[in-house]
Structure formats: C-alpha cells, structure tokens
Chain A
Amino acid sequence: MSRVVYIAANTFREAIRDRVLYNLIAFALLLSGAAILVGQISIDIERLVVVNLGLTAVSLFGVVITIFIGIGLVSKEMEKRTLYTVLSRPVRRWEFIVGKFLGLAGTLFVNTFFMAIGVFAALLYVSHKFHSADAWILVALFFIVLQFVILCSLTLLFSSFSSPLLSAVFAFSLFVIGSFAEDLRLFARMTRGLGLTHGLAATAAYLVPNFSALNVIGQVAHEQPISAHLIAYNTGYALVYSTMAICGAVLIFERRNLK
C-alpha cells in the first residue's frame, strides 16, 4: 500500500512541478473580472453569474487538466523510460496504475479546493455576506470533483493502451457524450420494443459515464436544494464507475508488452 501512496505522491509532485496550478491565476482573473464587470453592467444577477461562471470554470479547467495530465500518465513514463526503472523495483503494475490515479485525483482535488476558495471570495464580494443556500455550492463542487474522479479513471484507462492524442480524443468525446447521458437513456427508453436497436441503445446508455447527473450548477445557482439521495447515489456511482475503469486499465496494463 505504501508503494501506491509513494507513486501517488510522486504524480502529485510532478503535476505541481509542471506548473498545473498556474491555471489558478487565470481562474482568479476570470472570476474577479466577471464579478466586477457584471456588478456594473447588470441588475440583480451578480450572484447568479458568479455561481454559474465560477462553477462552470472550475469544471472546465479541471476537465482540461484531467485530460491533458491523464493522457500522459503512462505514455510519458514510457517515453522517458522511467516506467522501466519503477517496475524493476518491487512495484506491481496495478500499484503503478492505482498510484497514478490517486496522484492525479489528489492534484485535481487541491486545484478545486483553491478554485472553490476563489468562488466563495467572489461570492462574498458581490453579496457582501454568505447565505445558508450557499452551502449547496459545496455540494456542486463535490459533484464536480466526482466528475474529475471518473474522468481521471477514464483517461488512465485510455492511456494504458492508446497514444496520448487518441486518449485525449476518446476522453473528451466521452466527456461530451456523458454530459448528455440522461438524454441517451431517454432515447433508449423510447426505442423499447425495437429489439436490437433497443439493446444497442440501452447498452450504450448504461456504459457511457453519467456526467449529467453530476451537473447541478443551474440548480445551486438558483438556490435550490440537492436531495440527500442524489448525493448518495452520485457518490456511489462515481466510485463504482471509476473502480470499473481502473480495473479495465489494470487488466490491459497487466497484459501490455512493455519491451
């Protein structure tokens, strides 16, 4: 277990060394600029804009970071030949994969934590005080982190067998498709009774990651509460889905010829 933690810590350190957290500067500029600008040119939507823009930016920045770091997790180590050094030590291949996953997830968690501070600071600037409904923003941020966890596992899965460019394409496509996952399941329900078409549609609808249920930005922007059931199911789903993708990555990587 300590080997997994060690690899995770190294992955985290490497990401920080790659100046990943520089995105926080762009994020801070975007959010403070929007907060000041909207306050001057609009009426009564300052809070709405800060929440919508803030959470959307957290999500998109995170998705971009996840994909661009995630796709190189395995291939970069192979290119630099560091993978062979790591695997020649008493480190199992599955430990390498799980460690990489935890390292990237940790990086994203820290990044999101700082961005969340930025969102709440901008919110305080425009509203002058916090309201109880603002607590739901924490839930939305938690769901965004869950999105990152799923996406991390998927990029790792793709990077375990594919080139970085293709992995990026696959991961980004799945992110877009997964954002319409609920519509996909609706279409699958509509094809009920169409035999093979329904079978294919239902399989696709259940296999793609469900990112749409994890997006509650609109709801929290309008101060609507999030049900405890949704929080529990989403948490369970993100953990189960990422476990599935990590297992897939482990199975592929175990068999991969690294010579």
Chain B
Amino acid sequence: MGSEDRATPAIQHRTAATREKRAGAIAAYAGTAGRLALEAAGSALAPRVRTFAQDATNDLQRALELLRTIEGLGIVVHGPAGCAGTLHGDGPAAPWAVTGLDQRDSIMGGDGRLREAIRRLHAQRGPRAIVVLGTPVVAINGDELQTVTDELSEELGIPIAPILTDGFRSRIGATGHDVAVHGLLKHLLPQRQAAAASRVNLLAVAEGAEEVQGLRRLLLEAGIESRTFPRGASVEGLREIVNAVLSVSVDPDESEYAGQALRQLRGVPYLSPPAPIGAAGTAAWLAAVGEAMGLDVSEVAARQGARLAGAVARLAPHAGARVFVSLPAAQAFAVAGLVRELGLSVAGIGVPSIGPAHAGALRAVAAADPGIPVLVGEGQAFEEVNLLRTLGAELLVSRGTAPLHALRLGVPVLDLASVPVLGFDGLEGFAEAARRRLANPALARFFAGGREPYLPGWLSKSTHWFIKHEVK
C-alpha cells in the first residue's frame, strides 16, 4: 500500500477495491506449486476463468458473516428477502432486518423501505450502531445508501454506516471482508485520543472466537493486553481500538485491509508477522509482537513450546499420512508447515484465491516438492473431489465450508471452525484432532456409503478441465 499512501489512501475511496485489484489475486488455477511459483515470480499471475463453476461465496455473504459478530451492531440488508439468507445460518444472533425489496422497488427505488427498516430495527432492538448492506438489486437500480444512512443517523442519533457490497463485483468472496471493514472504519470510528500503554489490536477476520481468545491469553501471559477487531469487537470497543498502541495481524491476508486503514485513518501502527500457527510460527509471531512492544517474550514461548512434545509424539503412528489443506492462502501455507511439523505429509493445497504476496510461501512449498498440487478456487467440490481421489488423501483440513464432498469420498475432515489452530494451544488441539481422525477413518467411510459422489464420466476429467486462461 506504499504507493497508495502517496496517492489517495484506500480508505478515502468510496469503498474497498476488489481483492483482484488490491492484491492482484486470482481465483482459478489447478496445477503444480512449481508452475504457479514460476508464474508468481514473473510480472503477474495470469487471470483464469472457470467454464463450469459449482458454488462460490460473494462479498455480501462474507461481510454478513463478519459483521454479525460485532456486539451492539444492528444489520439491515437492503435487498430482496433471500439476500439475508446468510443470517439464518449458525452464528451470533445480531439484530437484523431485511428491506424485502420487490419488483416495484427495483423499478421505483427502495429508499422508503430502507428508511422504514432502519427505524423499525432501531425502535425494536435498540442497536448502538447500524450497518446497511447493499445487494445486487440496489447495485443495479442505483439506490444510494449513504443519503439515507446520513439522514437517519442524524434523526436517530446513532452512527449508521453504508457497506457497499453488491454480490458481483469480485470473484473472490473475501472482498466482502474489506468492504465491511471499509464501511465500519470510515463511518463508525471515533477519533484517537491517546495510545494505551500496552494494549494491542488483534485483527481477526475469519478466525473462531475460541482460538482468538487463546491468542489473547497468550499475549496476556507476555504482559500484553489486547482487543479483537473486527471479528468479535463491540461498538463501544471501537474507542479502544483507535487508541491501541499497535494493530497485529492474525491472518496477514485478511488483517491487511483493517490494519492499513487503521494506520491511515487514526495513525495506529500496523504489524503483520506470519500467522501464529504451529510452534515455530507462533513463537515467531509472539516474538514480533514482543519486539514491537519492547518486551522480552522468549520465556513465555519456551514455556509454552515445552509442553507440546507429547502432542507431536502421539501422532507418530501416523507419520507421513497424506493431508490435503484447503484454507485461505496465508493460513493454508502456515497449516501446511504445521502438518509437516507434526510429521505428516502435505498431499496438496487448496486456496480460494492467491496473489503475488504469496510468492515466497509458494516458492518454499515448491522448493520442497515442485510437483505438489495447488488448486485455487472456492466451492468447487468437483475439482476438490477429483484431486482428493487422485492423491489418495487421508485427511482434509478446511474451515467452515461444508466438506460433504470429502466425507462422501470417505476422507475424514478436520474443520478448523470447530478445532482451533492458532497459537500453542491450537497446535495441541489440532494434533489431537488429526490423530483421532486418522486413527478412526471408519466413520468417514460409513458416511461415504460406498458410493462415489460423481459419475465416472465426470471423474475421468482432469482437475483443471474447466479452467481456462482469460482472454481479454
């Protein structure tokens, strides 16, 4: 973002740029790590398209998943009723409303319905701030959200932020994280008063509450108080966020936008060490935070690291087991490192998107084994099934996505949404969860029921059958 600092800071723009633009990320690739590493070392990753795609999240879904975790925040989805579907799923019970636009609103504009929905949500649930999310319908018919949010913010006396999601601008769902953070910081952020002596922001976006709490405990053990943002933050807590001495990434990819925006807007310094995953990764992360805070944390790291030998030893009977890692890029590379740390082997890596920022990690993976398969894309069950079968994977590691296709194949799944992986605690939990799954594959085979999830004609196709270079 160095060049943006000299030009207009990203946070001053109307909304966040897509991940494709901001991070030069691509969302489609199937091939070897070696080939992709070569490409990443060149000028840019070549954009590719899928001629057949099964499913993909969009920015609206991702923004909703994130915003519903903020305590005290009311959510209004400005669109047809179905656009709020994400909020029906499991997750924190934030107060929310949907404007329920119909055919007539799509023609005549839905300002009136939006005003009504905001007023009703405010009257019935009393949120301390409200966010209004855009949908494909209002992006097309041009309903102006900010005119209404400014007007009602004044009327109701609480901050109301427009979040300019549209469902189609980006092929990468994680763009929604940036769009949500952009709206929150631009419209809800108080002014910075004075930095708190030893409090840092943990910039968590897609991580689980439990594992982030684990990181907070670890920091506290080192004498560092912390608050999380944006995931699991509170409206009142925003005051503490702007006054933190430092912001620290949890996932360098996902934390980036919030970290840079807090720095640009309120001058909070941003530190982005590699993810705290695995013993070495967590120790390095903790050391980076300690150094920035002027604290010696080596004793804490040594004490925590010493208790992990047993966890690794228990996995010895499964040494070399083939694990497919399917996670957002920064986490995927870190978890791949953890898998090796535990004596298992990495059969392949799947990521929703990948950009030039991962060139180093790709190079490292390719240096160890240039033929290791890499699949880029989200929600493409067919491609993942194809690869899992070919590789004979014994375990799939993913987060939050429904891995039914792997279970139908008889491959056990380790879902990081329920198994925390961050920090030293995470290593212990991950190792035990992996051990249990590798020791008891019968349950996954039972789910599979002996039937292939796809017909032979499909399975005979190569993984990259539907991925083509984009012609412009």
Co-assembled chains A and B: no
Which residues of A does B touch, CB under 8 Å?
Answer: none
